[in-house]
Amino acid sequence: MKEYELTVLIHPDLEMDIEKPLKKIRGIITDNGGEIVKETSWGKKKLAYKIRKEDFAVYVYFDLKLPAPALAKLSSVFNITDELLRYLIVSTDEKTKAKIAEARERAAKSESKEDQNDG
């Protein structure tokens, strides 16, 4: 199974009961043989431009593992899901993930050095 990143923009009116659309999204993923590795809610944010006459959306990010045929199925189901304003599925690259991890380590080391110098 390949690793993917999925970001969904959920209709802002569903913010109070966000668990219902998230349960639907999780179900679509797992029903197609996918596995959710990580899920992060970024909350309600203003959109850069209107989507379906909406100025805001609730952003939710997922790290996924999906079999190859599931990608097309997810796209076709997400296209007709009313709760979603937009979605983006991106394949993750191991080289990029390694570079991000290195950058985080360097940032953490430099922060710890600054803390030691301040003390």
Residue 99: the pLDDT is 80
Residue 34: the pLDDT is 92
pLDDT tens for 47-79 read 999 999 999 999 999 999 999 888 889 999 999
Residue 69: the pLDDT is 87
Output b/e per residue, 67-87; b: 16+ Cβ within 10 A. Answer: eeebbebbeebbeeeebbbeb
Residues of the chain above pLDDT 70, percent: 94
Domain residue ranges of the chain, discontinuous segments joined by +: 2-92
34 burial (CB, 10 Å; 0-12 / 13-18 / 19+) is buried
The token pair at 74 is 């997810």
Using only C-alpha atoms, the chain has a radius of gyration, in whole angstroms, of 18
More confident residue, 93 or 42: 42
Residue 110: the pLDDT is 80
Look at domain 2-92 and name its CATH class.
alpha beta
- Determine the Cα–Cα distance for residues 101 and 89; give it in Å rounded to an integer: 21
Q: Mean pLDDT score of the chain, rounded to an integer?
A: 88
